[in-house]
Structure 1
Amino acid sequence: MSQGSNFVDYVKICGRSGNGGAGSAHLHRDVRTAKGGPDGGDGGRGGHVILKGNAQLWTLLHLKYRKHVIAEHGMSGGSALKTGRDGKDEILEVPLGTVAKDSVTGEVLFEITKDGEEKVLVKGGRGGLGNWHFKSPTNQTPRYAQPGESGQEEWKILELKVLADVGLVGFPNAGKSTLLSVITAAKPEIGDYPFTTIVPNLGIVSYRGGKSFIMADIPGIIEGASEGKGLGFRFLRHIERNSVLLFMVPADTHRSIKEEYEILLSELEAYNSELLHKPKILAITKADMLDEELEAEMKIDLPELPYVFISSVAQKGLPELKDLLWKAINE
């Protein structure tokens, strides 16, 4: 499932909620009553703009070209205390992991995490009160009612954080796309230059007994990603939603394995120190180049966390890797 240009994780939309309907200032009249009291009903609420979680969606593509979302106005109140109809809400379905932000301040308003969950993005105006609310012993026939409250027009930003069980963390060409293409049904683009993976690729990994988990390959970190270099923040945002981080360092790195792991770690920490509390596993990739002696030598100076030597091409160490990941996800 290579998403390519269909993967959209950021949209800016203008939501306009409906005005509330006006209250009615009607006075009761019928055959028997020439001068009745106030019986004007309340106006209906203006329509909200609402976000609704949909587990079947995985991109914001369907909202990319929908710049303006307009909800219906509420109807005015009527005679005989009839309340006006509420304006129809405008409901936008979004993938789980969608975060709504104010476009001016950047403040996070809320996040949609469950299927069917609904949250109001732009609130409709309240309906005005009818004249019967204003009746008093001294003013028994008020000839006025409240107007409805105006709706709001606001620009909002929607951002998507991919929900996956395992997020792959490593520099470009650490072998992340290759691993994903070998142990899942995903078909990512594979190249050995930085930023082959511009968008997250998701794949489902089959495990024993018909179980499975989701793995996401995210654009490679480069030093300084946390300062917004390269694809920086846009990519790091996706890591926040993964429950286990799989660090991938190639056996032929020009630094030591430990050094490269620590650089990756410091990038994550600079962006969001809470990421360091997630379960971490280290995969030393391209291990088909190593003999037992070299492997033993490398083990002496590895960082302290569960690790496995793997080769996606030679299918080496993949069952052990799946075991480690499954255990970490379910702890």
Structure 2
Amino acid sequence: MLVEESPVSDDARGAPRYGLIRSALRDAILAGRAVPGLVLVEAPLAQLFSTSRVPVRQALTLLHEEGLISRFEGRGYLINPQGLELEPQRAPLTRQLLGLEPSEELIDTRPLGERVYDEIAACVSTVMVFGHYRIDEQLAAEHLGVSRSVVREALMRLRDRGLVEKEPYAQWLAGPLTAQEITEDYELRAVLEPQALQQTAPQLSRETLLDMLDHINSLQAAPDQASRQAVDRLEHDLHVRCLAGLRNRKMAALIQQCQSPINVSRIFFEALRMGIDEATLVEHRLIIESLLHGNLDSAALNLRDHLLRARERTLQRLKVLSVLPEPDLAPYMTRLS
């Protein structure tokens, strides 16, 4: 259940929820406050952090990749930063056992509406490539512990992004994200985003662009070790941050509606853990370097080329995902086909 939050900084509000969970657990493990061998299971952690299993699962995956927790024969993970042979310790998960500070705000850091929006968006984005689903407003409200109006507002925002649609009889639907839709979205983006970049580029400071380039450098140094959070930031830098401030609101809305194929790459990354491909990083670098040199025409052309190449990569990934098992559904979602 989601609960009302206390005032916090803007920085805390901007952090992804799985990132907040990961950071809280990571700090406790590295500081030696968390009990070694303690079994971490999604459902109890979700309850402790007042969230669903989706961000908890993402946080645990990142901690496992970092070697701070390990798999064992039973269900869940063991706190095991040293990689030792430990006897699993099963106990009700509490702040004390996990080494979390008593006064620490765990996850209730952003406005309730934002957290509900992120929760539903994560669930929809994860399954939309696997089929066609119905979302029940009332069940979502009960599951998340909020009013239907909060859920409805979140769904309306997702409709604006093109992630859900509403039928005449008040049913909310999500998916399927098909090869044809991906192709059409990328064709539109290849026309609109380069034009938008030429309009917004003059507003980008050199400091901002260098920060983006530094992030690309860090990924190129170890592409196989890229975290989900780092990959998300790469896409956000180019396709959101660089295009922020676009004066043409209709163009901005249409670009946002066409960015759902990004979910394919995100799901592909989570399912196969293959890191990020070098071609994507090179394409991002060419765009940012062109902007740093003040060559807006070159940046726009490179962005168009990147989007067309990304279309082909995404279509290939969609084929791979089609043979993978469908992820668990949120209790308020029903598969239609």
TM-score range, shorter chain: under 0.3
Instruction: Return the TM-score normalized by structure 1.
Output: 0.24
Larger Rg, first or second structure (1 or 2): 1
Q: With CA pairs under 8 Å and 6+ residues apart, which has the higher RCO, 1 or 2?
A: 2
